Structure 1
Amino acid sequence: MLLKVFGSYKTTLFLLFILAVGAAVATFVENDFGTAVARHYVYNAIWYEAFLTLGALNLAIVLYRSKMFLHVSRFVFHATFILILIGAGLTHFLGVDGVMKIREGSSSNVIFSNDKNVEITLPFAVHLNHFELERYYGSRSPSAYTSDVRVLDGNMTLDAQIFMNHTLTYKGYKFFQTFYDPDEKGTILSVTKDPGVEVTYVGYALLFLGLIFNLLDPKSRFRKLIAEVKSSSLLVLLVLVVQTPLWCESEYVQNYLSEHQVKSKVVSDAFGKLVVQSRMGRMKPFDTLSQEVLYKLSGHNSLYDMDAMQIALGMLSHPTLWKNLPMIQTKTPKLRAFIGVRNDQKLASFNDFFDGHRYKLEAELQKALAIKPSQRGTFENDLIKVDERLSIAFMLYQGVLFKIFPLPNDTHHTWLAFEQMFAQLEGEEAETLKESSTAFIEALFERDYDKALLHVKTFSQFQTHYGADIMPSPTHINMEILFNKLMLFERLTMAYVLLGLVLLGVAFGRVFAPQTFTCKLTRPLFFIVAALFVVHTCGLALRWYVSGHAPLSDTYESIVYIAWSCLLFCMLFMRRSLFALSGSVMMAGIFMFVAHLGHIDPEITNLVPVLKSFWLSVHVSIITASYGFLALGCALGFFTLILFTCKRSTQIIATIKHLTSINEITLILGLSLLVIGNFLGGIWANESWGRYWGWDPKETWAYISILVYTFILHVRLVPRFYSHYLFAVLSLLGFASILMTYFGVNFYLAGMHSYATGDPVPIPTWVYVCSGVVACLIVLSYKNKNLKEEK
């Protein structure tokens, strides 16, 4: 009887549920009460480790009773979870994990273990010869940090360098560069000794092979479902976003804007090709900086029928006039009323926020900053954001953002803005440059654009002479400007949304009115989707070239990549299913829309040291691709529930079964990629800073998502509970774990992968709206949950 209980699928589902809920609760406990409390009561608690052990025991009995060893690929990837758990046990109970701190010129043979709260003496010592911190050009942002060390072991010595993603191994101990002392004269190293690493890595390798071969195995459920659906695939289209010009009052302003719009184009294009040094030290064309600034100020890529470069030069040369033009975005009627502008005027001028020399927002801003983020309303959040926009605008008016002049012979490659250049440059050449700068601004003010163009050439020559070592190539500059002007991702957003709606309409039309919506519509619609996919792919490739790294390093890039991955699977396997195509295109459109919301910054930035790794591209690309497949599963579950609300017919029942098969294929692929991506992240973490897993909230919710989708895909093994309706509901609700992993952790839980500070921001209104719609759909479709055709 015990064998039957511990070897049942019901026990499997129960254990998955308990492990997922326990980990989810622990993330909130950690956020409110600290990591130590969460580890004590959940992660390292005997009860949680007991459930993990029971899970391994249950899996072993299931493998034996189901004779899964007859199916090699399926058996391998299931059995390796037991092997990985054994390796984790060896590491956890027998391994060493601690921190070593060394000052320059000193030695240490002691590490401090946080988990065991003890000091461990090593059989050798490590001497720090020198610590070096490299920063990005002209900024305080770290680019890399390196410890030059010597191992002292009796009469034997070993010299080595330790830096991020490059470790030192000696006598089974691994040393990782973790951090450094504030005065940059000491290093902080993580130290591990891992007796389970061989077992764990063998388990990882077998897991990856098993999952991949399972997708290729003709006898696997995945291949059987593919055969049932009978499909195969490719993708993209260009929709231009029309900007609405704003109106301005006075005749002088109108004349100035009209002339500036037409005549400044040549000089602004030339100035846009000048290289500028950003706050983070990235070298980029000024065209890029101007677009980033204008988007942050106004939420637009152009204003007054002018591009961002023309506006930037106008703000520099004629600040008095531009301070009176509406270009600062406000989002709440209360703030507009507070500063005294019309309720329908979403853009306010810089001067609208000042009454003489008095800053109108000062008192309210201090009140808003004193409120905890979780308690701030839309007015307070808008107030803080507007204050940031005004600071950026002020820096643009003052020329502080125009860091286009390299400081000659500077070892840190610092570049200067107009004001700094006047104070720090000396010599005859510097005087010529200062005169040229003054004349340039005067020429712009007087609208003598031909004269201003001559001074731009002077600036360019100065840059080439003193900054050539760190400047991007002319080809790179031209490609980045092309990328800015094309605005591929912004234009794709509306194209995806509109095309997704058309595809969905045709898909439902094929079910309810097959005579009208014939198969002839499928091929042209597919080719439109294929065209959009090609454009999206080119956009990703172009951003990769411009940034110098895979476009996966921040929120904006990863969302755009998820949108791309939503389409990839359908293009390869499901192009004949209009429901699958419409779901993938609509989810791509939703993700692209989210990427271009005001709170997500599309700016290209330099990588922090830990992300300068091959593993960034591999780990992040695979795990975020899985989100695209799981998002498609969510959409297919939604469409299936809509069909469950309709009057039953043979056609509808066949469509529900068809969608369920496609949905299961999608979730199998998504879960396989999610597992592989997470375990690759474990390898990256172990090779870069000495641990596979730290129960960081992002890691934990990725683990929870694996458990959730494992539960969803294995419910069918309990026929008494399983139904097409239940599978649709679970595939729809399961995506909440992905949303929590990707968005919720970033803004509601503090951790290494998080943007939160521990105080959650208010939950957006759309979350409540979407939850309400999903709940209503589940309730409405419940009465028809059985697949029986109505007479």
Structure 2
Amino acid sequence: MLLSILRSYKTMLFVLIALALGAAVATFLENDFGTAFARHYVYDALWYEALLCLASLNIALVLYRTKMFLHVSRFSFHAAFILLLIGAGLSRYFGVDGVMKIRENSSANTIFSTELNEEITLPFTVHLKDFEMERYYGSKAPSSYNSDVRIEDGTVSFDAHISMNEPLTYKGYKFFQTFYDPDEKGTILSVTKDPGVEVTYVGYALLFFGLIFNLFDKTSRFSKLLASMKQTSLLVVLILLTQTPLFSHSAYVQTYLDEHRANSVHVAEAFGELVVQSRMGRMKPFDTLAQEVLYKLSGKSALYEMSPTQIALGMLSHPSLWKKLPMIQTKTPKLREFVGVSPTQKLLRFEDFFEGHRYKLKEALQKALALKPSQRGTFENDVIKVDERLSIAFMMYQGVLFKLFPLIGDEHHTWVAFEQLIMKGKGEEQKEVQEASVAFATALFERNYEKASLHVKTFEAFQTRYGSEIMPSKTHVKVELFYNHVKIFERLTLAYVLVSIALLIAAFGQVFAPHIFTCKRLKPLFYGVVLLFILHTLGLALRWYVSSHAPMSDTYESMIYIAWSCLLFCMLFMRHSLFALSGSVMMAGIFMFVAHLGNMDPEITNLVPVLKSFWLSLHVSIITASYGFFALACALGFFTLILFTCKRSSNITKAILSLSVMNEVVLILGLSLLVIGNFLGAIWANESWGRYWGWDPKETWAYIAIIVYTIILHVRLIPKLYSHYLFAVLSLLGFSSILMTYFGVNFYLAGMHSYATGDPVPIPRWVYGTLFCVTLLILVSYKNKHLKEEK
């Protein structure tokens, strides 16, 4: 009886559910009580490790009972998890993990282990010859940390170099560049000795081989499902948000705006091509900076029928007037009432926040900053964000962000703005450009735009002569300007919406009126989707070229990448299925829409040092691609439940069965990619800073998502429990684990994956509305949950 229990599928599901729930609760315990608390009571607790061991035992017994060793692909990736647990045990109980701090021209041979709370002596000495932190040009943002060390081991002595993502290995010990002393005269190294690394990496290799081979194995369930898929139809959802603020201006202001709008186009275009140095040291066209600033201030890509560069030049040359124009975005009616304007006016004037010399937000800002992030409400977050926007606007009025001029002879390649040029610039060349700067601002103020254009040429010549060493090429600038002006992702969002409406009509039409909605008549829709996919691909390629790194390093980039991945598989394998196409376009449109709601910053920035890794690009690209598949599965489950609500007919039954097959295919692909992507992340973490897994909240929720979809795909092994209806419900609800991994952790839980996060906010109302609609659909469709073809 015990053996029967241990090797049963019910035990498997129970253990998986317990593991997922335990980890989920632990992330909230960690957020409230600290990492040590969560580790002590969950992650490192005996009961949780016992569950992991029970899961491995269950896998081993099932492998033996089902003779899965006869199927190479399935056996490989299932057995890999047993190897991974063994490797993890060796690393945890027999490995060494600590931190070594060394000052320049000093030596050390001990590391401090926080887990053991004691010092460990190494059999050799590490001497720090020099520590160097490289920065991005003209900024304080770090680009890389580097330590030049000498290993001294008796008669053996040699020099070595340690930097981010480039560790040093000696006698089984691995040294990773982690951080540095505040005065930059000392280094902080992570040190590990991992006896389980060989077993773990063999497990990884077996896992990757099995999951990939499973997709091509003709005897696998995936191949059989793929072969049985038939043509079906499609569905899409749409929300469109538009805002048309109305403003009133005095006659003088209106005259100025009309003249500036009409006559400053050419000088703005020329000025936009000048190279500027951002606060993070990225060299880019001024047009890019102007777009980023306008978006941060107003949440818009254009205002008053002017380009961002026209607005930037106006703010520089006539600040007193532009302070009177509404362009500061606010999110909450409460803040608008607080500063004394209409609660419905979303864009406020710079002057609205001041009463004489009194800053109206001063006390509210101090109270908001004094609160913990988790305690701040929408008002407090809005106050902090608006204060940031006002600071950016003030820097634009003062010209501080116009870092257009390289300092001659500066070893750090620092570029400065107009005022700094006057203060720091020396020599005849800089004196000439100083005079041109004053004349340029004067010409703009007098609205003599032709004269201003002549001074832009002086700026360009100065940049080329003294800053060409770090300036992007002419081609790079032109490509970036093209990328800025074409606004491909914003326009694709609207295109996805329009195509989704057409596909929605076609989807239901082919089910209920197949004689009208024939394949021949629907071909243009398919070609439309292909065109959108090609344009989306070109957009990603452009952003990759402009940023010089894979477009997956922040929330905005990953969102547009997920939208692209939603379409990729359909274009390759399911292009004949209207249902699959509809789900792909719908989810791509939703992701693109969310990316452009205004909460995500599309600014292209330099990478922080730890993100400069091949493993990162591979890890992130595969994981985010899996989100596209899970989004498609969510849509397919949604379509299936809608069909369950309809009166049963042969066409509807066939559509449900076909959707279930497609859904399982998509989920197998998604889970395979999610597992591979997460364990590639473990390799990256181990190679970059010496640990596979740290139970960071984002890591933990990715692990929970893996368990959730493993459960969904294995429920079919319990016939008394499984049905097509249940499978549709689970594939729909399962996507909530992805949403929590991608969004929820960023907004509600603290963690190290902070490069794509925002301040915690209350749960939006639309979430409750969505939950209500989903619950209603599940309840309404429940009455028709049985199919004759279930068995």
Give the TM-score category using the shorter length: over 0.9
CA contact (8 A) 2:125 2:153 kept: yes
Q: Give the aligned partner of residue 607 of structure 1.
A: 607
Does residue 346 (structure 1) correspond to residue 346 (structure 2)? The answer is yes
CA contact (8 A) 2:497 2:589 kept: yes
Q: 1:477 to 1:246 in 2, by over 3 A?
A: farther
Does residue 594 (structure 1) correspond to residue 594 (structure 2)? The answer is yes
Q: 1:349 to 1:267 in 2, by over 3 A?
A: same
CA contact (8 A) 2:231 2:578 kept: no
TM value normalised by structure 1:
0.96
Q: Give the aligned partner of residue 462 of structure 1.
A: 462
Q: 1:310 to 1:582 in 2, by over 3 A?
A: same
AA at the equivalent of 2:388: E
Q: How does 1:343-492 map to 2 (within 5 A)?
A: 343-492=343-492
TM-aligned CA deviation for residue 230 of structure 1: 4.5
Distance 2:510 2:567 in 1: 21
CA contact (8 A) 2:230 2:577 kept: no
- The secondary structure found in structure 2 opposite 1:306 is coil
TM-aligned CA deviation for residue 562 of structure 1: 0.5
CA contact (8 A) 1:544 1:551 kept: yes
TM-aligned CA deviation for residue 391 of structure 1: 1.2
TM-aligned CA deviation for residue 421 of structure 1: 1.0
TM-aligned CA deviation for residue 243 of structure 1: 9.4
Q: Give the aligned partner of residue 763 of structure 2.
A: 763
- The secondary structure found in structure 2 opposite 1:303 is coil
Q: Give the aligned partner of residue 335 of structure 2.
A: 335
Structure 1's unaligned 5+ residue stretches are 233-239
- The secondary structure found in structure 2 opposite 1:601 is coil
Tell which deviates more after alignment, 511-520 or 16-25. Answer: 511-520
AA at the equivalent of 2:323: K
Distance 2:212 2:373 in 1: 44
TM-aligned CA deviation for residue 75 of structure 1: 1.1
Distance 1:645 1:410 in 2: 71
Q: How does 1:514-553 map to 2 (within 5 A)?
A: 514-553=514-553
Deviation readout 1:77-104 (Å, 9 max, x if unpaired): 1111111211111111111111111111
Does residue 317 (structure 1) correspond to residue 347 (structure 2)? The answer is no
TM-aligned CA deviation for residue 788 of structure 1: 4.5
TM-aligned CA deviation for residue 124 of structure 1: 0.5
Distance 1:78 1:767 in 2: 36
Question: Over aligned residue pairs, what C-alpha RMSD do you find?
Answer: 1.9
AA at the equivalent of 2:606: N
TM-aligned CA deviation for residue 466 of structure 1: 1.4
TM-aligned CA deviation for residue 757 of structure 1: 9.8
Does residue 305 (structure 1) correspond to residue 305 (structure 2)? The answer is yes
Tell which deviates more after alignment, 750-759 or 491-500. Answer: 750-759
Deviation readout 1:531-568 (Å, 9 max, x if unpaired): 00111100000000000000011111011101100111
Tell which deviates more after alignment, 199-208 or 708-717. Answer: 199-208
AA at the equivalent of 1:719: P
Q: Give the aligned partner of residue 656 of structure 2.
A: 656
Q: Give the aligned partner of residue 501 of structure 1.
A: 501
TM-aligned CA deviation for residue 443 of structure 1: 0.6
Q: Give the aligned partner of residue 235 of structure 2.
A: none
Distance 1:758 1:140 in 2: 22
Q: Give the aligned partner of residue 56 of structure 1.
A: 56
AA at the equivalent of 2:268: S
AA at the equivalent of 1:656: I
AA at the equivalent of 1:588: A
Distance 2:548 2:356 in 1: 46
Does residue 7 (structure 1) correspond to residue 7 (structure 2)? The answer is yes
AA at the equivalent of 1:563: A
Q: Give the aligned partner of residue 103 of structure 1.
A: 103
Question: Identity of counterpart residues, as a percentage?
Answer: 74
- The secondary structure found in structure 2 opposite 1:134 is strand
Structure 2's unaligned 5+ residue stretches are 233-239
Distance 1:265 1:651 in 2: 59
TM-aligned CA deviation for residue 319 of structure 1: 1.1
Q: 1:174 to 1:377 in 2, by over 3 A?
A: closer
- The secondary structure found in structure 2 opposite 1:561 is helix
TM-aligned CA deviation for residue 375 of structure 1: 4.1
Q: How does 1:224-303 map to 2 (within 5 A)?
A: 224-230=224-230, 247-303=247-303
Distance 1:32 1:373 in 2: 12
Distance 1:401 1:212 in 2: 49
Does residue 688 (structure 1) correspond to residue 693 (structure 2)? The answer is no
Q: Give the aligned partner of residue 236 of structure 1.
A: none
Deviation readout 1:682-719 (Å, 9 max, x if unpaired): 11111111111111111111111111100100000000
Does residue 147 (structure 1) correspond to residue 147 (structure 2)? The answer is yes
TM-aligned CA deviation for residue 245 of structure 1: 8.6
Distance 2:126 2:364 in 1: 54
Q: Give the aligned partner of residue 632 of structure 1.
A: 632
Tell which deviates more after alignment, 576-585 or 383-392. Answer: 383-392
Deviation readout 1:214-259 (Å, 9 max, x if unpaired): 0001111111111111579xxxxxxx99996965422322222222
Distance 1:373 1:245 in 2: 31
TM-aligned CA deviation for residue 756 of structure 1: 9.7
- The secondary structure found in structure 1 opposite 2:109 is strand
- The secondary structure found in structure 1 opposite 2:100 is strand
Deviation readout 1:709-744 (Å, 9 max, x if unpaired): 001000000001000011011111111111111111
- The secondary structure found in structure 2 opposite 1:695 is coil
Does residue 117 (structure 1) correspond to residue 117 (structure 2)? The answer is yes
- The secondary structure found in structure 2 opposite 1:132 is strand
Does residue 746 (structure 1) correspond to residue 743 (structure 2)? The answer is no
Q: 1:386 to 1:417 in 2, by over 3 A?
A: same
TM-aligned CA deviation for residue 56 of structure 1: 0.8
Distance 2:340 2:33 in 1: 44
Does residue 205 (structure 1) correspond to residue 205 (structure 2)? The answer is yes
Tell me how many residue pairs correspond in the alignment. 782
TM-aligned CA deviation for residue 374 of structure 1: 3.8
Does residue 35 (structure 1) correspond to residue 8 (structure 2)? The answer is no
TM-aligned CA deviation for residue 363 of structure 1: 3.2
- The secondary structure found in structure 2 opposite 1:139 is coil
CA contact (8 A) 2:230 2:658 kept: no
